[in-house]
A and B are shown apart, each in its own frame.
Chain A
């Protein structure tokens, strides 16, 4: 089918473009460009997580920033303890990314299990509001907890480490983020092709009909919600290391909104939608952000045009409605 070939081509362009431009910047000696593309990769990773809940399961979580923020705090707290020569979770020198990543994912997953257990009993506008309410609760908890910086956030003086790589070098951090993004996209594709994924997409259409074939909609939705939060939490840990700062602002509701915007711009439920959406968002931030403080105005305009004239986002606009898989 020509549509499918076009989507393969678009995916290849997005995956390789995201890799080759920073590679060029590495040779040309432009660390700023590498950092911009690392931001794209991390935002895309966070959105791949949300895309499982929102794109496949139709769960419009307006509180996914909280998992992004929690991941960031795990990275920040680990870095602070290591910097002060203290232990974290009983481990001395826990500033290893290979420790931080699973811890960030588990922390985000546990939080999502609790939040999901309550909020998934509702749907529609109530679900949106209750996820927002939980996220705001955690946000206000973070800014009022002085041990870990409170409103000022947590600076990371030395980035967390990865065996064999100096993560203070932009290219090294980028390639870690790019690899994790590709792994997450692979996981997304596997989930979508599995029985679990089919059931999840079916629930979005009609939970009662799914129950009639012997599947508990609640269990499937909760599992998807937790997996979704874990991936977003991992992205949060990477973002804290990139900006060398664990910020409570990463948990603010505007961040939740930005993740949803990325998915709508890129294409809801599309495999590489988050990459396309994140590229547009970060692109606007860099290009128009340099000209005006009000760059979001232009982003809003593009969002409006997408919703009015290109419902399926960039991926659907280029590759057509028929999805891979």
Chain B
């Protein structure tokens, strides 16, 4: 079986400083993978490299067996990499509907199915994105990524800074997507919330993967060593 996405030994630099030192990551179709690690270890850089928003100095990025290392980011997105960026970055002055239709690509996800998935977005259709609550903006950011009908959905800190009730709602939505067979890459810090959703976990330290295994196999020691403060 070909992997859906494969990052192999990539090195990424920001100017003179190196952020990734031979990072590896594989995502199989239908799998939900969690990318974990402390702040500054290279989680977001890995995602940026996978989405082709960051040039890769060494190593390769493949999607569905195709080498996309040199592809511009809009083409990577067209192949089916749907990013929900950190910090819920919607198009602030556009309405909810405009945010959604701007991203639309043909497939099972349409304006109707996204509205059915997040009824809140249906209620807020004509409202400007900047006037939504944090949770609603997050739903819109996920909805917008779904509108591209991604084969791989990437969620970067999807629940950061949200109230517990809203967090639960977002996690429930992600779980529903997973149950529908959506391949997902999640970046998050809370093991407890990731466990029911992610099949596998990749832990980063100083720009490379240091531990990979089933989410259920994460022991308190591993948590303490790589994720603890």
| Bound-state Cα–Cα, A198 to B97, Å | 9
Given A198-B94, A201-B91, A205-B91, the answer on whether A212 and B51 have CB atoms closer than 8 Å is yes
Q: How far is the CA of A202 from the CA of B147 in the complex (A)?
A: 15
Cα A285 to Cα B77 with chains together (Å): 51
Give every chain B residue within 8 A of A209 (Cβ-Cβ): 85, 89, 91
Q: Which residues of chain B from 48 to 93 have any CB-CB distance to chain A below 8 Å in the complex?
A: 51, 53, 72-75, 77-78, 82-83, 85, 89, 91-93
- Is B105 in the interface zone, CB < 8 Å from A? yes
Tell me the B residues contacting A by CB distance below 8 Å. Answer: 51, 53, 72-75, 77-78, 82-83, 85, 89, 91-95, 98-99, 101-105, 144-145, 147-148
A195–B144 alpha-carbon span in the complex (Å): 13
Other-chain contact of B105, A194, A205, A214 (Cβ < 8 Å): A214
B77 near A212 with CB under 8 A, answer: yes
Q: Are B94 and A214 in contact (CB under 8 A)?
A: no
Q: Shortest distance in angstroms between A222's beta carbon and chain B's nearest beta carbon?
A: 14
Bound complex: CA A79 to CA B124 (Å): 54
The answer to whether B102 and A199 touch across the interface, beta carbons within 8 angstroms, is: yes
**Chain A: interface secondary structure?**
helix
B140 → chain A, closest Cβ, in Å? 12
B113 to chain A, nearest CB (A): 16
- Partner pick for B72 among A195, A197, A211, CB 8 A cutoff: A211
Question: Are A210 and B89 closer than 8 Å at their CB atoms?
Answer: no
User: Are A213 and B85 in contact (CB-based, < 8 A)?
Assistant: no
In the complex the two chains form, what is the Cα distance from A211 to B91 in whole Å? 13
For B78, give its contact among A197, A201, A202, A214 (CB under 8 Å): A214
Most chain A Cβ neighbours within 10 Å, of B89, B91, B101, B147:
B91
A195 to B103, CA, bound (A): 8
Q: Which residue of B lies closest to A199 (CB)?
A: B102
- Contact assessment for A213 and B98 in the assembled complex, using a CB-CB cutoff below 8 Å: no
CB of A206 closer than 8 Å to a CB of B: yes
Residue in contact with B82 in the complex, picked from A194, A205, A211, A213, CB distance below 8 Å:
A213
Q: How far is the CB of B48 from chain A (nearest CB, A)?
A: 10
A215→B105 CA distance, assembly (Å):
10
Least distance between A1 CB and chain B CB atoms (Å):
9
A208 contacts B98, C-beta separation under 8 Å: no
Report A-chain residues with C-beta under 8 Å of the C-beta of B98: 197-198, 201-202
Contact A198 B102 (CB under 8 A): yes
Q: Tell me the minimal C-beta distance from A281 to chain B in angstroms.
A: 27
Segment 191-236 of A: residues with Cβ below 8 Å from B: 194-195, 197-199, 201-202, 205-206, 208-217
Q: Which residues of A contact B73 (CB under 8 A)?
A: 208, 211-212
Contact indicator A211/B102 (Cβ below 8 Å):
no
Instruction: Using known A-B contacts A205-B92, A206-B89, determine if residue A213 contacts B102 with beta carbons closer than 8 Å.
Output: yes
Total contacts A to B, CB within 8 angstroms?
71
Shortest B195–chain A CB gap in Å is 28
Q: How far is the CA of A42 from the CA of B127 in the complex (A)?
A: 34
Q: Are B77 and A213 in contact (CB under 8 A)?
A: yes
In the complex, A197 Cα to B92 Cα: how many Å? 15
Residue of B89, B102, B145 ringed by the most chain A CB atoms within 10 A: B102
Please state if B74 and A216 are interface contacts (CB–CB under 8 Å).
Answer: yes
- What is the CA–CA distance of A209 and B102 in the complex, to the nearest angstrom? 11
Contacts of B145 in A (CB 8 A): 213
Chain B nearest CB, measured from A304 CB (Å): 25
> Which chain A residues lie closer than 8 Å to B82 at the CB level?
213
The docked-state distance in angstroms from the alpha carbon of A277 to that of B55 is 46
Q: Which residues from chain B contact A197 at a C-beta distance below 8 Å? A: 98
Residues on A with beta carbons closer than 8 Å to the beta carbon of B104: 195
Alpha-carbon distance between A201 and B94 when the two chains are bound, in angstroms: 7
Q: Which 9 A-B pairs have the closest CB atoms?
A: A214-B77, A198-B102, A213-B103, A211-B74, A198-B98, A214-B78, A202-B91, A211-B73, A199-B102
> What residues of B have a CB within 8 angstroms of the CB of A210 in the complex?
74, 102
Residues of chain B contacted by A208 (CB below 8 angstroms):
53, 73
**B74 and A202 contacting across the interface, CB-CB below 8 Å:** no
Q: How far is the CB of B190 from chain A (nearest CB, A)?
A: 25
Query: Which residues in B have their C-beta under 8 angstroms from that of A215?
Result: 74, 77, 102-103
Chain A residues positioned under 8 Å from B99 (CB to CB)? 198, 202
Extra contacts besides A197-B98, A210-B102 (8): CB < 8 Å = A208-B73, A211-B53, A211-B77, A212-B77, A212-B83, A213-B145, A215-B77, A215-B103
Question: What is the CB-to-nearest-CB distance from B199 to chain A, in angstroms, rounded to a whole number?
Answer: 25
Assembled-state Cα–Cα distance A211/B85 (Å): 12
A212 touches B94 (CB 8 A): no
CB-based contact A201/B93 at 8 Å: yes
Can you list 26 A-B pairs, Cβ within 8 angstroms, ordered by A?
A194-B101, A195-B104, A198-B94, A198-B98, A198-B99, A198-B101, A198-B102, A199-B102, A201-B93, A201-B94, A201-B98, A202-B98, A202-B99, A205-B92, A211-B74, A211-B77, A212-B77, A212-B83, A213-B82, A213-B147, A214-B74, A214-B77, A215-B74, A215-B102, A215-B103, A217-B74
For the complex formed, measure the closest distance between the CB of B66 and the CB atoms of chain A, giving whole angstroms.
15
